[in-house]
Structure formats: structure tokens, C-alpha cells
């Protein structure tokens, strides 16, 4: 089954090149020129990944990203941001808001396609080659064989063994894994796993991280996969 991708980009030439490169790789690409249209697309269908431009005629890609991260169905949607060259502030903001990767324009369509495929694999989408344990450089990636995130079934396995996770724990770990190696603030984790449930607090995140760690330890006592960064948040290390 080919992955479904939504491309939100108002520059027709860039959109055409990107869509061509991705379709050639077997991905189904839906293109939106406006934030308004993309929002409707996301409400109407399930997508596996969003390629998101920052500057759009009817709004900012960053605002849309914030909105998506705070809504349960799209809180963990992999997002690759595109932005004008040298807009450092967009890059920092984009990653802070929970973008999974970032490319500055101008970029090569091949680079974009490689990054898209890497994100899809990280999200548990095998892609056309069905091989989940190689990263875009062709090296063996630690993340795939260690953890497998089956998004459709909402299950994560560690070294081939299924983890008995609650729904919240699943969302929490899935979000951490998609941003493996990055520190996630408690606020970002709350938004990803709890959406707009206002009953939840930072303490809720800490409690769930604790049970997650216990479950991971049960399957693999030799490793501590989730690290705490004082005052900043949590990070999953898969190296």
C-alpha cells in the first residue's frame, strides 16, 4: 500500500517538482495551495505525512503546524517543513512546534524524497521496498530493528517483542520515537498524547514516562531508552 502524502506549497513550480519526485517513488501525493484547503484535506482523509511550506497566501505553515499538534488525530502526523533559505527562525520554531524534519529552499527533489522516505520508515511505513531497517544513507539504522511502530494497529514492539501499552503510553512513545534523539518538552508531549484534555498536567507526563520505562525495562533490562533532561523534557535514545 503506498503512503499518502499531503503537500502544502503555494509555489506551483516547486510543488510540481516535488510531486513528481515523490510520485516516482510510489507515493500518492495530494497537493494544496492554501492553508484553508489543506485543513479540509486533513479533516477529510488520513495522510501518512505532510510536507509543509511556511509562507502561504492565506496564513503561516507554522500556525497550521501548531494547530495540528494540538489536535488528537494529527498530533503525531509526520511533518517535513519547507522554508525560504536562511530563515533560521522558521527552522527553530518549526522544530520546537514539533516538525519532524526541515529543508531550506532551494533543495534538491531527491534530497526531499530521501527525507520523506526516512520519515515514513521511522513512522513504521515500510515504503515501496518494504525494508524497515535502513536509513537514507543505506546504513543499518538502530531505530528500525530496535523499535517498530505499527501506527495502524497502535502497537510498538521492541526487538520484535510487542510492548503492552495503554493508548496514552502508545501515543507518548510513538511521538518520542518519531523525534528520536531530540528533547521533547512536557508541553509538547502533553499535546501529542493528550490533545486538549485540560485535566492533564506535566505530572501526568512524568507518571506515564515512569510506567513506559518500567515496561521497556521488562523487555530489555540492559538499556535505559528514555532519558530525562532537567528543566527541558524527555528524549528517546536509540543509538
Nearer to Ca ion, 109 or 195 (CB): 109
Report the b/e string of 114-140 with b at 16+ CB within 10 A. bbbbbbbbbbbbebeeeebeebeeeee
**Is 150 a residue that touches Ca ion (CB under 5 A)?**
no
Q: In the complex, what is the shortest distance from the CB of residue 11 to Ca ion, in angstroms, rounded to a whole number?
A: 5
**Is 10 a residue that touches Ca ion (CB under 5 A)?**
yes
Nearer to Ca ion, 57 or 138 (CB): 57
Q: In the complex, what is the shortest distance from the CB of residue 3 to Ca ion, in angstroms, rounded to a whole number?
A: 24
DSSP 3-state of 220: coil
Q: In the complex, what is the shortest distance from the CB of residue 68 to Ca ion, in angstroms, rounded to a whole number?
A: 18
**Is 90 a residue that touches Ca ion (CB under 5 A)?**
no
Q: In the complex, what is the shortest distance from the CB of residue 110 to Ca ion, in angstroms, rounded to a whole number?
A: 21
Q: Site residues for Ca ion, window 42-61 (CB under 5 A)? A: 53, 55
HEC assignment per residue over 117-178: HHHHHHCCCCCCCCCCCECCCCCECCHHHHEEEECCCCEEEECCEECCCCHHHHHHHHHHHH
Q: In the complex, what is the shortest distance from the CB of residue 5 to Ca ion, in angstroms, rounded to a whole number?
A: 18
Query: Using CA atoms, how far apart are residues 22 and 143, in angstroms rounded to an integer?
Result: 23
- Joined together, the cell numbers standing for residue 181 give 534523539
- Joined together, the cell numbers standing for residue 171 give 501515543
Nearest 10 degrees: Cα torsion 83, 89, 90, 96: 140
Q: Which range in 9-17, 40-48, 120-128, 141-149 contacts Ca ion by CB under 5 A?
A: 9-17
DSSP 3-state of 66: helix
- Joined together, the cell numbers standing for residue 97 give 512546534
Nearer to Ca ion, 10 or 87 (CB): 10
Residue nearest to Ca ion (CB): 55
Give the torsion sign (CA, 157, 222, 178, 20): negative
Nearer to Ca ion, 9 or 25 (CB): 9
Nearer to Ca ion, 10 or 67 (CB): 10
Binding mask 191-220 for Ca ion (x = CB under 5 A): ------------------------------
- Joined together, the cell numbers standing for residue 188 give 509538547
**Is 87 a residue that touches Ca ion (CB under 5 A)?**
no
**Is 37 a residue that touches Ca ion (CB under 5 A)?**
no
**Is 109 a residue that touches Ca ion (CB under 5 A)?**
no
Q: Which residues bind Ca ion (CB under 5 A)?
A: 10, 53, 55
Amino acid at each position: 500500500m503506498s503512503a499518502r502524502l499531503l503537500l502544502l506549497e503555494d509555489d506551483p513550480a516547486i510543488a510540481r517538482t516535488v510531486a513528481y519526485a515523490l510520485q516516482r517513488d510510489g507515493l500518492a501525493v495530494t497537493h494544496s495551495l492554501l492553508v484553508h484547503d489543506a485543513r479540509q484535506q486533513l479533516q477529510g482523509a488520513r495522510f501518512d505525512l505532510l510536507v509543509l511550506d511556511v509562507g502561504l497566501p492565506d496564513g503561516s505553515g507554522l500556525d497550521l503546524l501548531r494547530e495540528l499538534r494540538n489536535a488528537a488525530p494529527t498530533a503525531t502526523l509526520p511533518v517535513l517543513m519547507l522554508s525560504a533559505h536562511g530563515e533560521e527562525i522558521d527552522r527553530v520554531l518549526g522544530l520546537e512546534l514539533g516538525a519532524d524534519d526541515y529543508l531550506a529552499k532551494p533543495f534538491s527533489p531527491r534530497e526531499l524524497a530521501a527525507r520523506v522516505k526516512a520519515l515514513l520508515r521511522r513512522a513504521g511505513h515500510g515504503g515501496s521496498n518494504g525494508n524497515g531497517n535502513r536509513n537514507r544513507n543505506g546504513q543499518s539504522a538502530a531505530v528500525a530493528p530496535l523499535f517498530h511502530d505499527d501506527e495502524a494497529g497502535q502497537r510498538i514492539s521492541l526487538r520484535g517483542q510487542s510492548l503492552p501499552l495503554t493508548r496514552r503510553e502508545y501515543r507518548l512513545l510513538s511521538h518520542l520515537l518519531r523525534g528520536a534523539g531530540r528533547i521533547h518538552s512536557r508541553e509538547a508531549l502533553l499535546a501529542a498524547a493528550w490533545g486538549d484534555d485540560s485535566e492533564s498536567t506535566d505530572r501526568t507526563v512524568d507518571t506515564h514516562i515512569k510506567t513506559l520505562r518500567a515496561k521497556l525495562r521488562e523487555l530489555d533490562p540492559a538499556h535505559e531508552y528514555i532519558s530525562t533532561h532537567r528543566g527541558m523534557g524527555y528524549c528517546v535514545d536509540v543509538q
